[in-house]
Amino acid sequence: MKKILWGLAAVILLAAIGFFGFAPAMVESDMNKVVPAPLPRVTEQTRALHDSLQIADMHGDTLLWRRSLLDRANRGQVDLPRLIQGNVALQIFSSVTKTPKEQNYDSNGADTDNITMLTVAQLQPPRTWNSLLQRSLWHAEKLDRAAAGSDGKLRVIRTPAELDRLLADRAAGRKVVGGMLSIEGLQDMEGQLGNLDKLHAAGFRMAGLAHFFDNEVAGSMHGVRKGGLTPLGVQTVRRMERIGMIVDIAHSSHKTVAEVLAMAKRPVVSSHGGVQATCKVNRNLTDEEIRGVAKTGGVIGIGYWDAAICSTAPAAIVNAIAHVRDLVGIDHVGLGSDFDGAVTTAFDTSQLAAVTQALVDRGFTPEDIRKVMGGNVLRVLRAGIVPQ
């Protein structure tokens, strides 16, 4: 009997080691892939231009995964060493708190959740196991801890003054990167408007209203009903603008997008995605929606994965950028990679010079490239994260 019990204990121990020790890394490696594809050859002139840029990426999901931001990883697409190598000035890190099982772009209910098992497997604090709000607060804590342990190389940005200080230090030659917090779907408010203030106090300065399912705030492009803003959603948009949180319409239903754009008094963004004119996927923006975002003074962030641009090539990223430029002007388009967001890309953040080269090859001027690669996003952040 003792041998049987010892054998059973050994099996349980091995299973636990596999579940807690290896499963999270295996899951991420399978979901966040870099599959190399032909990239444009970066010339010396383009490299010099790229190294002079203040690059801003509006969306990365790195905080979802159990690995150090400070160490160069052999999986995923973003970490501090690769951000520095890619000359990124500001990475906006999104908090993903819930995703439906069998997730798809067409229709998802809100009754299942993939993230709960991940929180347990990653040995996150028990408070995060059954609270979406606590999951976001944990992501904020992770970013704060990374910044504290980075020897000043990573800074959490919460105010325009902190952003300007970061950019000034970079212009003076310091290799520093800013991290700002965003939210992918306000289901983490748990139906309570007061929780928005808790998220703001934790450092969140941008929020998408919905993710892959309809929630208490808004309809999702991938939800079942795909409705518009709820009464709580209207209150939420107004409160976000008042306290200095940028409204993100990525993943929102067409009805939600229309209602947000009609009521917006401050710049609105679509943090990551594409445009239907170059890649006709339901989550991408129509020309009417692009015009609406531009009318608010906002920015459309172009992603790097197949469902956003119908390719993973830098030239396809530039095709979408060029369409927005031609439709509403160069001031309303930027980068929104969705790195580490369960996407396959042709490059990671250390290789962003390939995008700069693709813009050069397309005939974009150096000034326009500065705007696309970061200037436009930085402008919107300065305007949008200041409380009214």
Q: What does the pLDDT look like over 220-241, one tens digit per residue?
A: 999 999 999 999 999 999 999 9
CA-CA distance, 182 to 159, in Å (whole number)?
14
| Residues 6 or more apart in contact with residue 62 via CB below 8 angstroms | 69, 76, 77, 78, 79, 93, 339, 340
Pairing of strands 204-208, 177-184: parallel
User: What are the residues whose beta carbons fall under 8 Å from the beta carbon of 179, sequence distance 6 or more?
Assistant: 90, 91, 92, 93, 143, 146, 147, 154, 155, 156, 157
Burial of 39 (0-12, 13-18, 19+ CB in 10 A): middle
- Specify whether 3 is located in the same domain as 83: no
Q: What is the token pair recorded at 65? A: 């995964």
CA dist., res. 343 & res. 307, Å (int): 9
Would you tell me the crossing angle of helices 353-361 and 44-51 to the nearest 10 degrees? 120
60 plus 202 within the same structural domain:
yes
Whether residues 49 and 171 fall in one domain: yes
Q: Which two tokens stand for residue 49?
A: 């231009």
Confidence of residue 267 (pLDDT cuts 50, 70, 90): very high
**pLDDT greater than 50 at residue 211:** yes
Confidence category of residue 2, pLDDT binned at 50, 70, 90:
low
Residue at token pair 């009214």: 388
DSSP state of 374: I
Residues in the chain: 388
Number of domains in the chain: 2
User: In terms of domains, do 26 and 132 share one?
Assistant: no
At residue 245, does pLDDT exceed 90? Answer: yes
pLDDT over 90 at 20, yes or no = no
Q: Which residues contact 173 (CB under 8 A, 6 or more apart)?
A: none
pTM of the prediction? 0.93
Same domain as 2, residue 99 = no
**Looking at the predicted structure, is the pLDDT value of residue 121 above 50?**
yes
Considering the domain architecture, whether residues 110 and 25 belong to the same structural domain is answered as no
Reported as a single tens digit per residue, the pLDDT across 155-204 is 999 999 999 999 999 999 999 999 999 999 999 999 999 999 999 999 99
E strands, 51-98, in order: 55-60, 88-96
Q: How confident is the model at residue 253 (pLDDT cuts 50, 70, 90)?
A: very high
Same domain, 45 and 20: no
For residue 83, what is the domain's CATH number?
A: 3.20.20.140
Do residues 50 and 13 share a domain?
A: no
Higher pLDDT, 145 or 7: 145
| Res. 14 pLDDT band, cuts 50 70 90 | very low
Q: Is the pLDDT of residue 19 over 90?
A: no
Tokens representing residue 349 in the block: 């953040």
As a whole number of angstroms, the distance between CA 197 and CA 358 comes to 41
pLDDT of amino acid 17: 43
Average pLDDT over residues 19-29: 69
Q: Are residues 155 and 254 in the same domain?
A: yes
Quick one: pLDDT band at residue 15, thresholds 50, 70, 90? Answer: very low
pLDDT tens digits, 350-386? 999 999 999 999 999 999 999 999 999 999 999 999 9
Tell how far CA 121 is from the center of its chain.
23
**DSSP bridge partners of 334:** 301
Give the pLDDT band (50/70/90) at residue 12.
Answer: very low
CA distances from 247 to 204, 257, 268 (A): 11, 10, 5
Residues 231 and 324 in one domain: yes
Asked if 137 and 16 sit in the same domain, the reply is: no
Query: In the prediction, which pLDDT does 30 show?
Result: 86
Binning pLDDT at 50, 70 and 90, where does residue 4 land? low
State the residue range of the domain holding 23. 1-30
Q: Same domain for 59 and 187? A: yes
Tell me the backbone φ, ψ of residue 229, rounded to 5 degrees. Answer: -70, 140
DSSP state string for 206-258: EEES-SSS--SS--BTTSSS-----HHHHHHHHHHHHHT-EEE-TTB-HHHHH
**What average pLDDT does the segment 112-131 reach?**
96
Helices assigned H by DSSP within the chain: 2-16, 23-31, 44-51, 80-85, 115-121, 132-148, 160-171, 194-201, 231-243, 254-263, 287-295, 306-309, 314-328, 353-361, 366-370, 376-384
pLDDT at 188: 98
CA distance 16 to 3: 20
Both structure tokens of 311: 């390719």
